[in-house]
Homo-oligomer: A and B are copies of this chain.
Amino acid sequence: MKNSPISIGQLGKRSGVNIETIRYYEKIALLPPPDRTPAGYRQYDDGHVRRLRFIRRGRDLGFSVEAIRTLLSLAEHPDQPCGGADRLVAGHLADVERKIADLSRLRGELQGLANCCGHVVAECRIIDSLIAD
């Protein structure tokens, strides 16, 4: 196992996370502060890479930073039950389903308005639908 420290730029590339975002994660204590070179440059190790990839996967799945904090602390206690993770997933899945339902209703309304071409504003059903109470 090689464990030679890497710079923030390399960590960004390996994890697919923006440098500014990495520093932000450090500030909000989501990613632990790494060692520094004498010049003050951050030096990350494999643990950081793994942790940041975990965070990124979680964000890609739409979990909030707080949820990810919980998932990370779960991941650090392998002997404990995983019910907390399950509840997080279930709750988030419900969020996502609600959002999809809301957006689908919206899509329907917008489709009803689309392609109102060649009119003048006075006869425009888009503007009409916004004015009508």
Contact, CB under 8 Å: B133 / A82? no
Chain A binding surface, main DSSP class? helix
The answer for the CA separation of A81 and B104 in the assembled complex, in Å, is: 29
Q: How many copies does the complex hold?
A: 2
- Given the complex of chains A and B, what is the CA–CA distance between A97 and B103 in angstroms? 8
Q: Is the Cβ of A114 less than 8 Å from the Cβ of B86?
A: yes
Q: Which residues of A contact B (CB under 8 A)?
A: 50, 53-54, 57-58, 61-62, 71, 74-75, 77-83, 85-86, 88-90, 92-93, 96-97, 99-100, 103-104, 106-107, 109-111, 113-124, 126-127, 129-131, 133
Smallest Cβ distance from A92 to chain B, in angstroms? 6
- List B contacts of A104 (CB < 8 A): 100
